[in-house]
Amino acid sequence: MPKLYDYLGLIIFFYSNEHELVHVHARYQGQQSKIELIIKNGKVEKLVVREVRGKEPLSS
């Protein structure tokens, strides 16, 4: 699980063996969500937050 960011308990990471759309996972205080990156012409156009099955989603 490569970690991209860790600050005040918020951890942004990805699993190297997943083959879904481009996304990262975010974990904070036992909650976890998946953030899909919608990329067009090499730029991040939109972020879509999704729930991770079996995990309590991050609160807004």
Convert the pLDDT of each residue in 6-50 to its tens digit: 999 999 998 877 777 789 999 999 999 999 999 999 999 999 999
CA gap 7, 40 in Å, rounded: 28
pLDDT of residue 7: 95
Q: Is residue 46 part of a domain?
A: yes
Q: Is residue 59 part of a domain?
A: no
On the question of pLDDT at 60 being above 80, the answer is no
Q: Is residue 35 part of a domain?
A: yes
pLDDT of residue 22: 86
Q: Is residue 60 part of a domain?
A: no
Q: Is residue 42 part of a domain?
A: yes
Residue numbers of the domain that contains 30: 3-51
Each residue of 6-42: b (16+ CB within 10 Å) or e? eeeeeeebeeeeeeeeebbbbbeeeebbbeeeeeeee
User: Domain total for the chain?
Assistant: 1
